[in-house]
Structure formats: C-alpha cells, structure tokens
Amino acid sequence: MKIRVSKLQAAQRQADTAIRMLFSGEDPVSIHTLAMASFRILRDLAKHQGNNTFLANTDLIIKKSKERQFWGGLQSFSNFLKHADRDPEAIKEGIDEKVNDGILLFVTELYSTLGNELTPEMRALKYWFIGKNSHLITSDAESRFLKEIAENFSPDLEGLSRDEQLAKGAEYIAMAKARR
C-alpha cells in the first residue's frame, strides 16, 4: 500500500497516535519520539507561515530565564533518542514520563494556532491536562473555556493516581469522538 501525506497530516497523525498511546499507558520513549516529531513539524510550519503566536507566548508558561534550559532539555532527550553516532553506550536517567504530557499540550496548542480544528484526541488531551493541573489555571481564565471543560469532561483529576488519570484520558477520547 502506498500512502500520501502532507507535513500537517503527518504531525496530526503522530500527535493523535502519541495521545492514544499515552492514555493506554504505552511506552513513554515511543510517545516522546512521536510527540517531538509532531512538535518539530508544527513548529517549522508555524515559522514558515510567519505564525509565531504560540511560540512567542511561551513566556506565559515558561519563565524567560528558564526558557533556554527548558527547550534545551527537550531537545537533548529527543536527540538522545534519535542518534547514537557520538555516544553509542550512553544512558539517560531521571527522565520523568510526565514531560510527554506537556509536549503534547504544546503540540495541541501549535496545531490550533495554525488554524486547525482540534482532533478528538487533541481535545481530550487538552481538557485532561487542565483537569489534572487545575491548580495552574488562573482565576481570571475565560469562563467559556472552564464551562466547556465542566460540561464535557471531569474538571478535577488532581486527586487521582497517574494510572487513574490516564484511564480518564482514554474515556475523554471516546467522549470527544462521540461529540464530533
């Protein structure tokens, strides 16, 4: 079988697959690889279009003084997973699998910033991320957005274990697909 795929379609398919894998509790290394591949494509597409709205506003999420460290850390692990030419015996330790959650949120936001309607997987990921990190939401957050979360998904996942949170994410995908 031969396939035809655009860069945007590839990024969307990689993201959706990574999200489904995340919520199924699959391998974090594979999830990271897919998420970062999708992120890089979307970042490049945004730069090509001159649309740096999301990337220019990362200081709302990441402290300016920590931005280089943050992006460098992401790139470092991603490059570690792709290359073995300089360090074939290297081992990376201390990687928290939850980093994939944030990368996938960035992917979702970039995809939306490029003018695309979020897929059910991406909508589920976005609401799931907010539900498990509700302590990060500012009190002046848009009421429409918070209302949508409350109406469509469980608004608070913070008290649940990681496995329970991931299981809820899988439920969110099914709910988002049913509401298409």
Asked if residue 123 is part of any domain, the answer here is yes
Of 54, 58, 177, 56, whose CA–CA distance to 122 is shortest?
177
Label residue 15 by pLDDT band (50, 70, 90): very high
Q: And the tokens for 6?
A: 């655009």
Asked if residue 154 is part of any domain, the answer here is yes
Distance CA 110, CA 47 (A): 11
Asked if residue 21 is part of any domain, the answer here is yes
Note down the domain range covering 156. Answer: 7-178
Asked if residue 109 is part of any domain, the answer here is yes
Of 146, 171, 156, whose CA–CA distance to 23 is shortest?
171
Greater pLDDT, 51 or 101: 101
Distance CA 177, CA 45 (A): 26
Number of independent structural domains in the chain: 1
Label residue 150 by pLDDT band (50, 70, 90): low
The DSSP code sequence of 62-93 is S-GGGHHHHHHHHHHHHHHHH--SS-TT----
Asked if residue 2 is part of any domain, the answer here is no
Q: And the tokens for 139?
A: 């009190």
- pTM for the complete prediction? 0.82
Asked if residue 15 is part of any domain, the answer here is yes
Distance CA 143, CA 64 (A): 28
Q: Read off the pLDDT of residues 58-114 as tens digits, 9 standing for 90 and up.
A: 544 556 676 666 666 667 777 767 767 788 887 877 778 888 998 999 899 899 989
Mean pLDDT of 44-51: 86
pLDDT at 104: 94
Asked if residue 54 is part of any domain, the answer here is yes
